[in-house]
Amino acid sequence: MQTRQEAVEQTVMFLERCGIQLTDSEKQMIEVVDFGLHDYPRSGLQLLTYINTPRYCAKELVLFSHQTCPEHRHPPFNNTPGKQETFRCRWGEVYLFVEDEELTLNTAQEEPVCEPPKGFEQWYTCQRYILLRAGEQYTINPNTRHWFQAGQRGAVISEFSSESRDDLDIFTDPSVNRVG
């Protein structure tokens, strides 16, 4: 099992691979998120929040090989429609599954592009996806169910969004605990 310090060091290495240099204080701010599922690193991610205000938010998300962020949505709050976020892939590949009729449908007849973590399949309902490679981006509308998983090498994603309220996110799996 990887320690928090090892995960942070690997995260810094992934970011440096993209040309993203961090200050020592930013390195200390890296979160290693396990979502309370006791399934890290399979379910989890690493993130650095640069800024998060009522107007906008900027983050770096790092996913190790086949690491998965559980399905969730960002509901309305404080007279806003909820968080709208743009994912821009900086390195690697990320499969972004979104409740969006215009995306490719992952059907049972196809070879699965990726699979939810074993034992948690019932909590992954979005079947349509977009594959993001370095330089590609996708915007997720507020209150839209989504989950994502890195490809074989992992991925670095820059997230640009409206205000992020992790404490209000609604996960399909009721056992997820994002904050705490």
* 111, pLDDT greater than 70: no
pLDDT value of residue 2: 82
* pLDDT average, residue stretch 122-130: 95
148 pLDDT band (50/70/90 cuts)?
very high
d(CA 146, CA 109) in angstroms, rounded, equals 22
Q: What is the pLDDT of residues 13-36, one digit of tens each?
A: 999 999 999 999 999 999 999 999
pLDDT value of residue 87: 98
pLDDT value of residue 103: 86
Q: CA of 159: how far to CAs of 48, 111, 152, in Å? A: 10, 29, 21
What is the CATH T-level fold of the domain 4-165, as seen in this structure?
A: Jelly Rolls (2.60.120)
Q: How many CB atoms lie within 10 A of CB 176?
A: 19
Q: How many CB atoms lie within 10 A of CB 37?
A: 20
Structure tokens at 168: 């209000």
Position of tokens 């892939």? Answer: 89
pLDDT value of residue 179: 72
d(CA 50, CA 159) in angstroms, rounded, equals 10
Query: Mean of the per-residue pLDDT values for the chain?
Result: 94
**Residue boundaries of the structural domains of the chain:** 4-165
* pLDDT average, residue stretch 156-172: 96
* DSSP structure string for 105-116: E--TTSPPS--P
pLDDT value of residue 106: 72
